[in-house]
């Protein structure tokens, strides 16, 4: 090989490596906020740092999607008005939520009902000038909210639902859905390949992996699995990747709230110990409700890349996301070339210097 050829090859290699580094560093990702808060607070958040905001929640009335009341209508109008500050912002309407999809299994089992529902979605999107629908049915085909119907037929019916929505609302409006980040949902609830051909993205609820029904403490929103806890953000991504779901349609989830467990022994500072769920705490209330002065001591799990707190005097264990874990999750989404990161929910953040800022600062690095 000539000296010129060697020099040219080295130059090409260097240029490729620089391009690869820039591509990895600059990988654009979506930042998606669910919003479940009062209308008067909407304008106070840094919405310029978001790509999407999802109103939570609309509900079924018969086979029609409805906005429950005038207050919710005002919230949606406020969210849409934020486009004046952020012209790139997409505003989606969400169906359901935990406890909010009692009749979904029955309604979506019928072809005609799916058609009527899809038309009602289009009508609402047109009326509010919103940009799409997010389906938060918890859960098709597997047990979710206590007492809500679930049957095996929910799985193919969900596929038919998203197909009908796409047919009715068109290609320019977005369709996403919230999915449980735990194994049972991932393996049993939806026909992934069929659904993801139609949907723009899936919002993986990789939080509440330790939840109100858990009897042993753990990380409710860990980035990585540990020997004691299989369920994690990375586990969900690796599973979906292994069955051929495009990573550029996967959105990981983060929590703007903590879960507190009581009557927890001090072994391992409360981590992976028996306990009973006590309550949730929004991030904005951490300084007053989870302060060091009150006996809460912060710890870090380097395996899970997740924080926790323990209060020895009160025997309280706390699992949550913090700015450090938010930065790591955002970096993970960039490195894995995922669609992005979402969180529940914006109304629980501080107006500045909070978890959204941690996500955004990592995103633009």
The answer as to whether 74 is a domain residue is yes
What is the rounded (10 degree) CA torsion for 189, 193, 196, 198? Answer: -110
The answer as to whether 2 is a domain residue is no
The answer as to whether 91 is a domain residue is yes
The answer as to whether 289 is a domain residue is no
Sequential pLDDT tens for the chain (365 residues): 444 433 333 333 333 333 333 334 555 899 999 999 999 999 999 999 999 999 999 999 999 999 999 999 999 999 999 999 999 999 999 999 999 999 999 999 999 999 999 999 999 999 999 999 999 999 999 999 999 999 999 999 999 999 999 999 999 999 999 999 999 999 999 999 999 999 999 999 999 999 999 999 999 999 999 999 999 999 999 999 999 999 999 999 999 999 999 999 999 999 999 999 999 999 999 999 999 999 999 999 999 999 999 999 999 999 999 999 999 999 999 999 999 999 999 999 999 999 999 999 999 99
Q: Residue 208 is part of a domain; what is its CATH number?
A: 3.20.20.80
Q: Looking at residue 28, what is its pLDDT?
A: 86
Q: Looking at residue 10, what is its pLDDT?
A: 36
Q: 17: which DSSP letter?
A: H
The answer as to whether 56 is a domain residue is yes
How far is 323 from 334, CA to CA, in rounded Å?
Answer: 17
The answer as to whether 208 is a domain residue is yes
Find all residues with CB under 8 Å of 105, minimum gap 6, and list them: 140, 148, 149, 150, 151, 154, 157
Find all residues with CB under 8 Å of 91, minimum gap 6, and list them: 52, 53, 54, 55, 76, 79, 80, 82, 83, 128, 130, 131
Question: In the chain, how many domains are there?
Answer: 1
The answer as to whether 227 is a domain residue is yes
How many C-beta neighbours within 10 Å does residue 21 have?
10
- State the residue range of the domain holding 203: 27-255+320-363
Q: What is the pTM of this model?
A: 0.92
How many C-beta neighbours within 10 Å does residue 276 have?
13
The answer as to whether 285 is a domain residue is no
How far is 48 from 364, CA to CA, in rounded Å?
Answer: 13
């Amino acid at each position: 090989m000539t000296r010129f050829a060697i020099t040219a090859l080295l130059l090409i290699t260097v240029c490729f490596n620089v391009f690869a580094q820039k591509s990895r560093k600059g990988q654009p990702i979506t930042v998606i906020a669910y919003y479940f808060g009062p209308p008067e607070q909407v304008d106070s958040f840094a919405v310029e740092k978001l790509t999407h905001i999802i109103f939570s929640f609309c509900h079924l009335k018969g086979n029609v999607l409805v906005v429950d009341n005038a207050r919710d209508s005002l919230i949606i109008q406020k969210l849409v008005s934020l486009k004046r500050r952020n012209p790139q912002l997409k505003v989606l309407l969400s169906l359901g939520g935990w406890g909010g999809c009692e009749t979904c299994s029955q309604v979506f089992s019928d072809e005609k009902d799916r058609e009527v529902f899809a038309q009602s979605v289009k009508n609402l999107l047109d009326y509010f000038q919103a940009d799409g629908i997010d389906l938060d049915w918890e859960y098709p085909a597997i047990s979710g909210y206590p007492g809500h119907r679930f049957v095996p037929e929910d799985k193919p019916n969900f596929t038919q639902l998203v197909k009908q929505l796409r047919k009715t609302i068109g290609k320019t409006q977005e369709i996403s859905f919230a999915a449980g980040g735990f194994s049972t949902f991932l393996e049993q609830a939806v026909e992934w390949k069929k659904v993801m051909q139609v949907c723009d993205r899936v919002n993986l609820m990789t939080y509440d992996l330790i939840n109100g029904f858990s009897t042993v403490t753990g990380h409710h929103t860990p980035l990585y699995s540990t020997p004691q806890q299989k369920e994690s953000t990375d586990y969900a991504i690796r599973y979906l990747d292994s069955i051929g779901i495009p990573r550029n349609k996967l959105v990981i989830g983060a929590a703007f709230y903590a879960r507190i467990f009581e009557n927890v022994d001090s072994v391992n500072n409360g981590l992976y110990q028996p306990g009973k769920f006590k309550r949730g705490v929004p991030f904005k209330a951490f300084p007053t409700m989870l302060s060091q002065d009150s006996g809460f001591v912060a710890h870090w799990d380097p395996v899970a890349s997740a924080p926790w707190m323990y209060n020895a005097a009160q025997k309280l264990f706390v699992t949550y996301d913090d700015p450090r874990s938010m930065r790591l999750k955002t970096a993970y989404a960039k490195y894995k070339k995922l669609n992005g990161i979402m969180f529940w929910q914006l109304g629980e953040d501080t107006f500045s210097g909070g978890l959204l800022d941690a996500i955004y600062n990592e995103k633009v690095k």
